[in-house]
Structure formats: structure tokens, C-alpha cells
Amino acid sequence: MLGSPFAAARLLLLALLVASPDIARGQAPAPANDEEGFAPLFDGKTLNGWDGDLRLWSASNGLLVGRTTAENPIPKNTFLVWTAGWVGDFELRFSYRILSGNSGVQYRSKLHPEWRVTGYQADIEAGTNYTGIVYEEGGRGIMTPRGEVVRRTERGSSVVEDRFAKPEFLQAQIKDKDWNHYVVRAEGEVLTHTMNGVMIARLIDEQSTHAAREGILALQLHAGPPMEVHFKELRLKHLKRSAALPDPNQATPADAIQVPPGFAVERLYSVPREQGSWVSLVVDPKGRLIASDQYGSLYRISGLGDGEKIAIEKLAIAIGEAQGMLFVGDDFYLCVNGGAAQGSGVYRLRDKDRDDRYEEIELLKKLDGDGEHGPHALALGPDGKIYVLAGNHTQIPSECAPSSPHRNYQEDQLLPRNPDGRGHATGVMAPGGWIARFDPAGGPWELFCAGMRNTYDVAFSPEGELFGFDSDMEWDIGTPWYRPTRVLHHSSASEYGWRYGTGKWPQTWPDSLPSVIDLGEGSPTGVVFGTQARFPRRYREALFVADWTFGRIHAVWLQPRGSSFTATSEVFVQGRPLAVTDMAIGQDGHFYFAIGGRRIQSGLYRVKSFVPDFAPIADAESGKKERAERRALEALHGKDDVAALEKAWPALDADDRFLRWAARVAVEHRPAASWKARALAEQRPRARLEALLALARCGAAEDQLALLARLAEIDPAALGDAELISWLRIHSLAFVRLAPPNEAQKQALGKRLNPLFPSGRSLVDRDLAAMLVYLQHPAVVAKALALVEQLPSQEEQLHYIFTLRSAERGWNLPLRTAYFSWLGFAPKRFKGGMSFELFLEQIRKDAEAKLGTDEKLALADVLQPPPPPADAAAPARVRKFVKSWRVADLLPQLEAVGSGRNFESGRAAFVELQCLACHRFGDRGGSTGPTLGNVGGRFSRRDLLDALLEPSKVISDQYQNEMLVTSWDEVFVGRVVAEDATTLELKTHPLDPRSEKIAKKDLVERKPSNVSPMPNGLLDVLSAEEILDLLAYMESGGDPAAPAFKR
């Protein structure tokens, strides 16, 4: 059984293909001038131009015949070699008939003595298993079975990009003991075998140590029993590589990029595809840049001076895939994310003999994580330590010191949460993304701070403060737990409250710190301060943060607030497409940035100012005293200092939130027994709440009674918003961490809180409702539903709907009807991210599970799940097969996407190919694939075409399925949407809400699937003009007024 998420899409594709009479007969339509450029290899009468064992080969009557007999067997494979030339990029056409045995056609192969040949082979046999496969004679064996597209990676692993047909179907296209028409086409790394007009197999050979780009052509006779094979009509066409594969390696031109007045941007280098897609930059001690390919090597860039020619050197070291690079003196540190060297981890490279080559590669720390949420950046702190940044799918190093600043983290969820409806990060537990630090001279690692989602880069300010740019979860848009991209101030032991699914903490909670500034949707990448740039003073004072998705770099100006900061921002660099990955300030003072990532077109750019200002920049005077106080408190973190309590306790009552935080952490790092009594006796209003928060986090079960009694002495009605939210949160932690409340405690607290709800204070009311539901107070249901009718935003309404799913008391039939009616209409009234409707569906299921049989019958009309969206309906018409499109077919025409296109044609193609069934586009579409509304801002036309024609070439972690194999050999492919210690819940179909539950004990293998949920071949039913219209439609975001549609 194959529980595949591709089933629906493949059925659609099969329907489209079968609808074509030509394809139904197994014959591909012949293009115009089909035989142009082909030359015969065989004169039909002699073996002129061929060399082999003439006892076995003969020519007559238009046939080239190979034959072995029982009387004349061969002990090993032998070959008839074409001696008139070599083949590189080519198309070979011929007909064959095999009567018995095994044969094949060698190409791009090597000749050895006694007519032995090794290399690629188009297989032929008289049996039913191997004809058409891609085989490597004398090498790697079977490279591509029938019915598959296989990519052989640089490291030698085989990735199945597509399974486009069953072998039985393909075997049925082959005539037994009769003539078959075979086409072998080789273009660059792509090798395709076609039989009787039907593709049989395709290999994409990226393994540079084994792949061949040219070689000889030969025919095989296989050792073994007697065999006989006939060939005829052998014709060869050499493909000009410049024509077959036009050079597409042009990054976005500088004149398509906007910068503020007084600045100029230059495109310095368009990265060739063979040099990868660059995702990180660093300046070496000699002022050169070093760039790292996301999936490959390191490149050194010199010749950056005015009038110099840029030179690119691939570093001859067996390491790469670095998303973080740092020089400390002459030592070169890398944060590797992937399979380079010994895998993900922090490495140190040294040039021992100072010959500009790194001879020594030392793994300092192995890290458990990779991919887009794996290990990322490195930064040198003012304390001389190296700070290591990792995303939320990276495990914290087990060797982190117990005395680390950040510790004692938990999930801390008062009410049950729901995982993401599409399974992203399900089961990834606290503390989320993290920053650790270590001394390069030695010593233990320390966990510095955590609770981010997926910050890609960090930078220290001139004053020594650390900042990062954290990612949003765009699938959460429209929900109360959505958090936009945001600049964070990473102080010691800071916590930012990322938890998976609906469990993200509001930044109003006292145990989570707020952002410096929110910047909306995006994909954060590089971060750098402009201090050393040859820029006007205003921009030298800016923090620059890059957004990959929307093709921009923000300039952020920090403004002191207490001991931390707030900020303002503007867009500094903007382009389309301009997928910015990293930035660096060169020793020349110029601002360099790279674009790339996910194998898209990469480039290197430089921004210069016409009016630079070289005056020194002083530290901000505002807040300087508070920052010094905070750092003094942070110096106590992790230290066994008996005086820490006396030093920290006064600051628990500080006006500034960051100061109180630093003081509380210093207190928490001392044994609770040494300060518990003091916390319970504290009278200063702010200090009282901070001390009780510390006790709720660090105390024991026996402390719960005293803690609740102390909280009960505080009148919640007299508290301001922040204080009341803290008071409620301390109760939550007392119940979650110390001990759940007994019935008497529930009733007492519920009696106090019920009169306060609703208060008319939005953020307070959210926490009041959650606590009342946790206490199962019967009045909260009616009050909350009445509030829902009055609230202006869907996020606020959804908060109460989500919270009430856990309420068990206080319901009646009218309230149930109102609740489920809201859920029924919400998908039509509200819009959100790709998981929005899935969250709604899970909330509905949770609430319905609490209904009795009679209630379900009474509510039958409102319990019906909503119908599927109209966008996911069947296509309006079935299209006929046009051509098996390759990127090379359309590259010469991509310039035509920019003007004179047909909007309606592009829109029709987008709809009829059912793109909206899986993808959000504007305010329409499904939620199982990437949002396409801003695709033109991330991808060049070439990269967009690549993604459409070869969807498995790069699969984002967010959309990658998992493959599960059971002990009874069942294979399931899909998204894990829920997981606990014993069971996995797998959604195997992207458009079907049903899921499979699989016991973990039954699994023998679990690994990421390397096949995209989007099938190959979707564009094969479009003409070239329709594809260009589709590209224009997508690139424009569906805007009919875009320049591409002006005629």
C-alpha cells in the first residue's frame, strides 16, 4: 500500500494525458523539422565506422546484427564501438529488435582494451524488467529504474524526484521480438530514455566525481546464454550546448533595484549555476569576501577595488554548506548546516603554513539539526566568546553547562493546544530557536537565550548589544497566535515564547520579552550593523535586516527605552526578484549583499554612498545608565555568587521590564530555599509580582498553597493591565508547574475572576477568559460568546472560539448553536494563512468531541463540515498533451514574459491546472503548498520556471513530506500532523482531511521524502505561449494592470 499525497494530482495528470489521442496510442506528436540535424551512423551494408569482434557482429540489408551462439559463447560483455567521433550533448534515434538475451547502447562512455566499455547505458533485454533503464556499465549499476526520475546528488545518494508511471504500463508499450523505436537524449546532467514515444526513465547526474559529459558510443552483447539483437536506422544529432542550454546565469540587474537618494547599487557578479546559490558572506583578514553555497562549496572573492576585475576562487577544502562564517584573528569558524564534512556543527579552519590554504579542519561541536530551521549564524561577542545561532528544529547541545544563563524552560501551556494543521514543527518542544556561546580558547558551552522561531542571523551593536531578526509563521496569519517577523534584542537569559502550533506565548506575559519592532510578513535572513560603512551618519547608525521573501533590506534605527530599545524602520534596498540572503560591510567600507538560496539564481551586489560620513559614532547616551545596570545584573547569571540576591533583589521593583527580567533571572539562579520566604514577604508592588513569578517557576509542589495565598491578598480589580496579566500568568504557572488546583481553589479563584470578565481591556480579557475556562466556570461561555459578536477582528473572535473548545460547563443548545454556526461561517467570512482553515476544522472537532449523542442530533444542521472551497473544484476543461517541457526549451523565450502577454490566458492556465487547490494566491486558494502571491519577488523567471517544471529539485522544509515504512512493508508518505510517545498521525492526501494513525512500534524506517507533493509534468498540457502567459500572471501577482499585459 502506498499512502501517497500525490494520488489526486497524478490522477488529474493521467486524465489530461489519456485525453490526447496521440498519447493514448503511445506515440508522441512529432515536432516540425523533426529530422533536421540528424546524421546516419550506419550505411546499412558494412561495418565502416564501427570496431568490434567481427565474429559476433555483421551488417546486411539495412540491419546491424549482434549474435552469440552456444558454440561461440563470450565470457564477458563485449561491444561494437562507433569510431567516427565522440558524443557529448546529443540525441540518438534508432530502432532495435531483440530475439533473446540482453543488450544495450553505451554513450558518453570509456573504451578499454579488448572492446570493453564502461559508462552510461540505455538498457535492452528480451525479458520484462530492464529495457529502458539508465544503467552504468562497470560503475554504479542501475541509476534509474523504469517509470522514475532520479537525481544522483553530489554526495552520491539517489533521490527519486518523480514516479511518473508504473513499470507494468511501460513494459506494455514495448513490443516483444519486434521493432521498437528508442530515443536517447543527453543534455548536460540530464539523461532521458524514450521508447515508442513514451518516456521510460530520466537521470539527473550531479555526482561530479562519476558523471560523464562526453565519451564514446557503442552497442553491447551481454555474456551468458546465446543471444541475438538487431539495430537499424541509427541517427545522431549533436546538440550545441550554447543552443540547447542557453546561459541563464544572470542575477537581477542593478537598474531593477531601488535604493534611497544618494546611494548607488552595482551588480558585481552573477553566480553560475555550477557555483551554487550563495547564502552567507564574510570578510576575511585580507579584505576579501568569502561566500558559501547553501548546498556546496566555499568561494573566495577578490578584485573588489575600483577598476579591478572580480576573481572567484573555489576553496580547495572538503567543507561547505556554511550558513554562518566568522574570522577570529586568522582562525576561520564555520557553522555548517547539512552533510558537508562531518555534518552539521561548528568547525574551525586553520592555515597552518600561511599559504592562503586551510589545511586543518577541526569539528568543535556536532549539532543535531539541519535544513531551513537548522544551525545558522556565528558572531563574536564583546566578551570574546563566539555566539552560535540555531533555528527551532535544532537540538540544544547536550553538553551545555547547567549554569547556563537560559535554563528552567518548559512548555507552560494552561489550556490544551493544537498543532499546526499541516504538521509543521509538531512535537518540536521548548525552548525553540536558541543562541549558545563558547570560548574559542576552551571551556563549556552555555545556552545564552532562546524562544525564537527561526532567526537566521544576529549582530552585535558597537556598544555590545546583540540583535536578531526572527521569522514569522505565515501559515498562522489571521489567528491570535500569529507573530510577525520581528527584530529582537537578545539579552542574557531572554525568552521569546515560541512554542509549536497554537501554543505561542503573547509577549505581554511577564515570562516572555517583547520585540524591538515588528516588520510584518517576510523571511528574515542576514543582519548587519552599518557602523563601518562609508555611509551618511544616519545609515551608519542603522541596523540592516534582510527579507528573502519580499526582496528587501530594512534599515532599522534603534531608540533606547529603559535598558532596551524600540525602533523605527524604512526599506533601504528593494528589488524584484531580490531574495537577499546575507550582507557584509567590507574593509573598503562598502555594503555588500548576496541573493540566492534554495538553488535559485544567485548574485553579489555592492551599495555605495555618494556622500559618506566618517565621523565616529558615539554610544547612545539615553538609557546608558539603565543598560549598564542591566549588564551588571546579567553578570550574575549562572554564577555561584552568594551575594547575588542582595545585588539583584532591589531591581525586582524597577520600572524597566528588562531590568526586572535580569534581576529575576539572577534570583532564580540561586536555590529557591534561599529566597522563598523573602518572595512571599515582598511588599513592593512590582517586586512582589516578580518574586512570586520566580517562585512559580522555580518552586516545588509544596509551595503552591503559600503562593496562591499570597496572590489572594492582591486585589486584581486594582491592578493595571500589565500587572493583572502578570497576576494571572503567575496563577497559570502555579497550576502548571507546581500543582493543579483542587476543586475548592478552582471555585474560589473563579468567584473572584468572574465579575472582572469582560473588563473591556482586550489583552486582559483574553487571559481572564482562558483562566475561567481552565477553572471550568459556567458563566464564561455565555459571556465570551456575547463578546465575540462585538469584537472587530477575526483574531480576537478566534481567540475566544479557540479557548471555549476546552469549556465543559455552561453550555446550552442556543450557545452550542451559536458556537458551531460561527465555525461554519468563519471560512467564508475570514481569510488567513495556509493553516487557518485547518485550525478551524481542528477546533470544530475538539468541540464536537465534547458533545453527547443527544446534542449531536439536535445540532446536526450546524455540525456539517463546510463544503470544499470552490477554488478546489475540477478544472473547467481537460487539456491535451502538448510537450514534455524542459527548462532549456523555454529559456530563449523568457524575455517575452515581460510584455505583450495575455492576462486571461495566464489566469485560465493557473485555474485549470488547479494551482488554487493547493496554493494561496491573493485572497483565494488552498493551504497545502507555498503561497504564490509574491512569487515574483523571490524568484527570477528562470527560477520560477525551474520550480514549475522540476518541483522536486528543491523542497522547503515547510512542505517536505515524510516517508514511513512499517514492519509489514507498507509505505506511507505525507505530513505528520500529530505525534506523541506512541503514535503518529499522518495526513497522506493534501486535499483530504482524513489521516492515518500509525503506531511507532510498527515503524522500521522514517525519513524525509525527496519527492515534492507537486507532480512533474503539469505544464505539459500547455503551449509555449500559455506557459509564458502563466509565468506573467504569477510574476505579476494576478494584476491585470501589470506592464506584462500591456500591448
CATH value at residue 95: 2.60.120.560
Q: Are residues 735 and 747 in the same domain?
A: no
pLDDT in tens, 401-426: 999 999 999 999 999 999 998 888 88
Q: What region does 2 belong to: left with phi over 0, alpha with psi -120 to 50, or beta?
A: beta
Provide the greatest CA pair distance for the chain.
108
Nearest to 742 by CA among 705, 695, 692, 693: 705
Give the model's pLDDT for residue 539.
Answer: 96
Number of domains in the chain: 5
Question: Looking at per-residue confidence, does 587 or 614 come out higher?
Answer: 587
pLDDT band at 520 (very low <50, low <70, confident <90, very high): very high
**The C-alpha cell that represents 42 in the structure block:** 550506419
Average pLDDT over residues 303-312: 89
Q: Nearest 5°: phi and psi at 61?
A: 50, 35
Residue 1034 placed within a domain: yes
pLDDT over threshold 50, residue 30: no
Is 154 inside any structural domain? yes
Per-residue HEC secondary structure of 589-620 comes to: CCEEEEECCCCCCEEEEEEEECCCCCCCCCCC
Dihedral sign, Cα of residue 1006, residue 975, residue 294, residue 367? negative
Whole-Å CA distances, 1034 to 897, 1041, 1044 = 11, 13, 11
Instruction: Please report which helix (H) or strand (E) contains residue 379, including its range.
Output: strand 375-380
Please indicate, yes or no, whether residues 58 and 169 belong to a single structural domain of this protein. Answer: yes
Whether 536 shows a pLDDT value over 90: the answer reads: yes
**Which H or E element spans position 905?**
helix 903-912
Q: What is the pLDDT of residues 777-810, one digit of tens each?
A: 999 999 999 999 899 899 999 999 999 999 999 9
Looking at mean pLDDT, say which of 398-402, 514-518, 887-891 comes out highest. Answer: 514-518
Assess whether 876 and 858 both reside in one domain.
no
How far CA 157 is from CA of 15, 192, 198, 673, 1010, in Å, comes to: 33, 19, 27, 56, 11
pLDDT band at 878 (very low <50, low <70, confident <90, very high): low
In this prediction, residues 292-307 reach a mean pLDDT of: 93
Report the 3 state secondary structure along 642-655: CCHHHHHHHHHHCC
Distance CA(320)–CA(324), nearest Å, equals: 10
In a domain, 767, yes or no: yes
For residues 343 and 24, which has the higher predicted lDDT (pLDDT)? 343
Q: Mean pLDDT over residues 396-403, rounded? A: 90
CATH of the domain at 593: 2.120.10.30
Looking at the predicted structure, is the pLDDT value of residue 2 above 60?
no
Residues 133 and 206 placed together within one structural domain of the fold: yes
Whole-number average pLDDT of the chain: 89
Phi and psi, residue 773, nearest 5°: -65, -40
DSSP single-letter state for residue 495: B
Mean pLDDT, range 43-58, rounded to an integer: 92
In this structure, is residue 620 part of a structural domain? Answer: no
pLDDT tens figures, 970-980: 777 787 877 77
> What confidence score (pLDDT) does residue 306 get?
77
Please give the average per-residue pLDDT across 185-192, as a whole number. Answer: 94
Check whether 5 has a pLDDT greater than 60: no
Band the pLDDT of 120: cuts 50, 70, 90. Answer: very high
Q: How many residues does the chain have?
A: 1047
Mean per-residue pLDDT for 815-841? 92
Q: What is the mean pLDDT of residues 906-927?
A: 76
Cell triple for residue 984?
503518529
Quickly state the pLDDT bin for 867 (edges 50, 70, 90).
low
Q: Do 77 and 213 contact (CB within 8 A), yes or no?
A: no
Whether the predicted pLDDT of 873 surpasses 60? no
- Mean pLDDT on 3-7: 33
State the CB neighbour count (10 A cutoff) for residue 890.
21
**pLDDT band with cut points at 50, 70 and 90 for residue 458:** very high
Per-residue pLDDT at 887: 84
Contact (Cβ atoms closer than 8 angstroms) between residue 674 and residue 645: yes
Cell of 637: 547569571
Residue scoring higher pLDDT (978 or 47): 47
> Residue type at 602?
S
DSSP summary character for residue 891:
G
Q: Which residues does residue 208 pair with via DSSP β-bridges, in sequence order?
A: none
Residue 25: is its pLDDT beyond 80?
no
Asked if pLDDT for residue 123 goes beyond 90, the answer is yes
pLDDT value for 20: 32
Answer yes or no: do 560 and 641 share one domain. no
Residue 483 in grid coordinates:
507573530
What distances in angstroms separate CA 497 from CA 434, 453, 554, one per listed residue?
Answer: 11, 9, 24
pLDDT of the residue at 990? 63
Is residue 458 packed enough to be buried (19+ CB in 10 Å), middle (13-18) or exposed (0-12)? buried
Rounded to an integer, the average pLDDT of 1026-1038 is 89
CB 174 within 8 A of CB 168: no
What does the pLDDT read at residue 564?
98
CB 884 within 8 A of CB 1017: yes
pLDDT tier at 74, thresholds 50, 70, 90: very high
Same domain membership, residue 321 and residue 209: no
Whether the per-residue pLDDT at 270 is higher than 70: the answer is yes
- Mean pLDDT check: name the lowest of 100-104, 240-244, 282-286: 240-244
pLDDT band at 14 (very low <50, low <70, confident <90, very high): very low
* 534 plus 659 within the same structural domain: no
**Residue 788 forms part of a structural domain:** yes
Q: What angle do CA 395, 399, 405 make, to 5 degrees?
A: 85
Residue 75 Rama label (left phi>0; alpha psi -120 to 50; beta): alpha
Reduced to 3 states, what is the DSSP secondary structure of residue 950?
A: coil
pLDDT at 34: 65
pLDDT for the residue 874: 44
- List all residues 6 or more positions away from 430 whose beta carbon is below 8 Å from its beta carbon: 409, 410, 411, 412, 450, 451, 499
**Same domain membership, residue 566 and residue 447:** yes
Indicate whether 548 belongs to any domain: yes
Distance CA 366, CA 880 (A): 52
Q: Exposed/middle/buried for 281, CB within 10 Å: 0-12, 13-18, 19+?
A: buried
In a domain, 424, yes or no: no
- 628 Cβ neighbours under 8 A, 6+ residues apart: none
pLDDT at 262: 87
DSSP string, 332-365: EEEEE-SSSTTSSEEEEEE-TT-SSS--EEEEEE
Cβ proximity of 119 and 79 under 8 Å? no
The alpha carbon dihedral of 661, 666, 667, 673 has a sign of: positive
577 and 509 within one domain: yes
Tell me, yes or no, whether 808 and 941 share the same domain: no
Q: Model confidence at 513, in pLDDT bands (50, 70, 90)? A: very high
Amino acid, single-letter form, for residue 632 = A
Helices (H) and strands (E) in the chain, counts: 25, 50
What is the spatial distance between Cα 143 and Cα 122, in angstroms, rounded to a whole number? 11
Query: 720 burial class (0-12, 13-18, 19+ CB within 10 angstroms)?
Result: exposed
pLDDT band for position 699 (cuts 50, 70, 90): very high
**Within-domain flag for 331:** yes
Residue 42 has pLDDT above 60, yes or no: yes
Band of pLDDT at residue 925, cut at 50, 70 and 90: low
Quick count: other Cβ atoms within 10 Å of Cβ 843? 21
| Paired residues of 452 in beta bridges | 433
Nearest Cα to Cα of residue 179 among 124, 107, 120: 124
Task: Judge contact between 758 and 765, C-beta under 8 A.
Answer: yes
CA distance linking residue 38 with residue 41, whole number of Å: 10
- Are 568 and 589 within 8 A, CB to CB? no
The answer to whether residues 719 and 819 belong to one domain is no
Predicted pLDDT at 119: 95
pLDDT of residue 332: 98
Dihedral sign from CA coordinates of 657, 659, 662, 667? negative
Find the range with the poorest average confidence among 28-32, 159-163, 283-287: 28-32
Reduced to 3 states (helix: H, G, I; strand: E, B; else coil), residue 10 is helix
262: left (phi over 0), alpha (psi -120 to 50) or beta: left
Span 898-907, average pLDDT? 89
CA distance 846 to 417: 11
H or E element: which one contains 470?
Answer: strand 466-470
Residue-number span of the structural domain to which 669 is assigned: 636-740
Contact 701, 708 (CB under 8 A): no
Residues 6+ apart with CB under 8 A from 1015: 6, 9, 10, 13, 162, 164, 951
Banded pLDDT at 151 (limits 50, 70, 90): very high
At which of 740, 763, 793 does a domain end?
Answer: 740
Residues 6+ apart with CB under 8 A from 141: 135
- Choose the final residue of a domain: 216, 244, 272: 244
* 224 and 270 housed in the same domain: no
Say if CB 5 and CB 989 are below 8 A apart: yes
Q: How far does the chain reach from its first CA to its final CA, in angstroms?
A: 52
**Boundary (domain end) residue, out of 673, 707, 740:** 740
CATH of the domain at 1015: 1.10.760.10
> ∠566-572-578 over CA atoms, to 5°?
120
771-782 CB burial, b ≥16 within 10 A, e <16: bbbbbbbeebbe
